Chain A
C-alpha cells in the first residue's frame, strides 16, 4: 500500500471519530443546559476547550451563548474542528484513498457528507438539535457498519482502525483534561449537586452513564468514574480499551509486514501503564499530570506511526 494511502485512511477515520465525539459532547452539554440551567455556561466553555476551539470562538464572538456555541461547534466551517469541517475533511481523505475503500464504505462516507451538508446548510434550532445529533451518530454507525461488513481484514483495515482508536484515546483524555478538577477528592467530597452534574457530563460524553449505573448499582463516586473512564477495558471509549486496540492493530501490521518499528514500543509502553496502573496511584501522583502525559504520549505515538509507515516523505 502507498504511504500516502495509509495516511489518508488514518486521517479519514480520525476525522470521522472526532465528528462523532464532538456530537456526543454537544449532546451532553445540551442535556445539562436543559436540566440544570445554572451550570450551563461552564458546559459551553468546556465544550469549546475540549474541542480546542476556544481561541477561534473568542476571535469571532463575545460571550458564551448556547445557540452561538452550538452553531460554531456544529456547523461553522471557519472552525476546523466543527462537526461539518471534520466530515468534509473525512470525505476529502476518502476521495484521496478511494481505491483502498470498498464501494460500500465510500458511499457511506459520501452519503454522510451529502446528508449532513444539506441538514447543516442553515442554523439548527434548539428544537431540531436532538434529531440532528442523532443523525450524526447514525451516519457514523453507517460508515462503521460498511467498514466492518465489507472490507478485507488487511493493512487497509488496520490503518483505519489505528486512526479511529488514536483519535478516541485523545478525545476521551481531553474530556477528562477539561473536567479533571471535578473529580479531585477534595472537591468531590463536598458532594454538591453541581459536582454530580459535572460527573454526569463526563459519563454522557463517553456514552457511559447507563453502563456505569449498572456496574455500580447507582453508587457514583469521583474515583469510581475516573477509574471507569481510564482503566475499565470493557468501556469502548475508555483509555484502556482504546490503547489496547491500538496495540492489537499495530500488532497485526507487525505480523503482516514482518517488521517491528519504534511505534510498536511506544504503544506497548502506553498499554503497560494502563494495565498495571491503579486509580489510587494516579490520584497520588496527580490526575492532571497523568492526563497531560497521556495526551502527549498519544501525540508522539501518532507522529511515530506517520514516520514508520511513510505517510509523508
Chain B
C-alpha cells in the first residue's frame, strides 16, 4: 500500500508489517469482518446525532446541524513518541506565556532585536489595553492547542499555535466515549491512556488562578456567544462536565467591582470566566462597540483584578501567523534552550526577498493569510489550477504583508475505513494543554483530524475533514 517515496504511513511505516504501536490493533483488525465494521461506523454516527455532537456551519441555515464525520480506526502514538512530544509542547507553551508577559510589559525581546518592533506595534492582535496588566496567577494562556503534523518516523513539526480559544476538546472526549462503547474488547487488549480527566483538570487549573478578591466558593463559569455559535455544543459540554454555569453576555453585569450572573436568587459574583468569545466581542466599552455578546465594563473589572479571564485578552499576539515564524527565536530567548519541536520553514511575504521566492514557486507552496483560520483563504499550490494560482498571485502582490508561505509538507497518513477496506488519508494532531501556576498538564491524546478525500491535505472540519480517536499507549 505504501509507495516508496509516498507519504509516511503511521500504521505501515516503510517496512513490511505494521509499525510497533499498531501491532496489536492490526492483529485485531485481521480477525474482523469489514461489513460488520462498516455497520459499527453507522452506529457511531447515530450515537453522535443522538448525543447532539453537531456543529453549525457559518452562513448556512440554523437547522442544518452537521456532524463531523468520525472514522473508527484509531490514530496510535507510542509512549516514547508521546514523551518527546510533551517535552517539546511544554517548552513551547512556557515560552508563549513568557513572551506574552514580556510583550505587555518590558518588551525585552524587541529591545534585544530578536523580533522586529513593527510586527507588534502594527498588529491588530496586540491589545494596548493589556499593557502593564498582571493576570491572576501570572497565566496568560490557560488553555492551548498546539497543531502538529508528522512527515516521518521522527519528524514532527508545529503547524500552528492556538493561544486564543482553541476548540475541539469535546471531540477528543466524545470520540473516546464512542470507541469505548463500540469496541470495549479492544481496550481490554491494548492499554490506552485515558483522556477523561480533562474536564476535572480544567476546573482545577482554572481554580488555581483566582483573582485577589475571589469569593469563598471560587465560582467558575463558561461564557458562550450562544446557542447559534458553531461550537455551542462544546461550550455546553465543558460547562456541564466541569459542573459550572454556562453564561451569555445577557446574564452578566458589573456589580460592586465584580462580574455577576443573574440567578434565580439574585446576582452572584463570578471569579473565573472561561470565555469562548473573541477579544473583539468581549467588552463593547473597550473593544468593538457593536458587540452584543460581551459584558460592558468587563475589561475595567479585569484590570482592577476583580476577575480572571481565561485565556487572557490579547493572547492572539502569540499565535499570529507572522509571529509564528519567530517561534524558534522566542523559545530560545525565554527558555535558554533550543526548541525541541521544529517549526515548518516559513517565508514571510512582507520581506521582498521572500516574496520573490514565493512568487516563483506558487505551484509548490502553501500560502496562508496571516490572520486567517479554518482553512479559508489559503492556497495549496500543488492542488490548485493555473487559474486559481494566477488569481492568488494578484492578491499576494497587492498585499504581501498579509501572507506567509510554507513548503507543501508530505503529511503522514493513517488508514481510514472505506468500502474497500483500509485506505491511507492525511492527518494532523491537536493536543490540548492546560497551564496553571502549578504547572503544565497535557492530556495524553488530542484531536486527530483527517482529510477524508484521497490525496487531500486539508483536514479542517469546515472543509470536509473528519476526526479520529487518538490513542497514546501506556509504556
Contact = CB atoms under 8 A, between A and B. Distances in A.
Chain A binding site: helix, strand, loop or mixed by DSSP? helix
A4 B250 CA distance: 9
Contact of B246 (A3, A99, A159, A310): A99
B236 to A, nearest CB: 4
Interface in A66-107: 92, 95-96, 98-99, 103, 106-107
A107 B240 contact: no
A110 B52 CA distance: 7
Nearest to A8: B227
Chain B binding site: helix, strand, loop or mixed by DSSP? mixed
- Interface core residue of B236, B240, B264 (most chain A CB under 10 Å): B264
Contact of A1 (B50, B239, B248, B264): B264
A309 B264 CA distance: 5
Nearest to B243: A99
B51 A107 contact: yes
Contact of A257 (B245, B248, B264): B264
B44 interface: no
Contacts of A114: 49-50
B286 to A, nearest CB: 23
Given A95-B52, A114-B49, A2 B264 contact: yes
A116 to B, nearest CB: 14
A4 B252 CA distance: 11
Contacts of B51: 103, 107, 110
A258 B453 CA distance: 60
A2 B262 contact: yes
Contacts of A259: 265
Interface residues of A, number: 24
B273 to A, nearest CB: 14
A2 B265 CA distance: 8
B263 A111 contact: no
B55 to A, nearest CB: 13
B236 A310 contact: no
Nearest to A311: B264
Given A95-B52, A95-B227, A3 B240 contact: no
A98 B261 contact: no
B251 interface: yes
B52 A3 contact: no
A45 interface: no
A99 B223 CA distance: 13
A2 B50 contact: no
Interface in A254-287: 257, 259
9 contacts: A4-B251, A4-B262, A99-B246, A103-B51, A107-B50, A107-B51, A107-B52, A110-B49, A155-B264
Interface of A: 1-6, 92, 95-96, 98-99, 103, 106-107, 110-111, 114, 155, 159, 257, 259, 309-310, 313
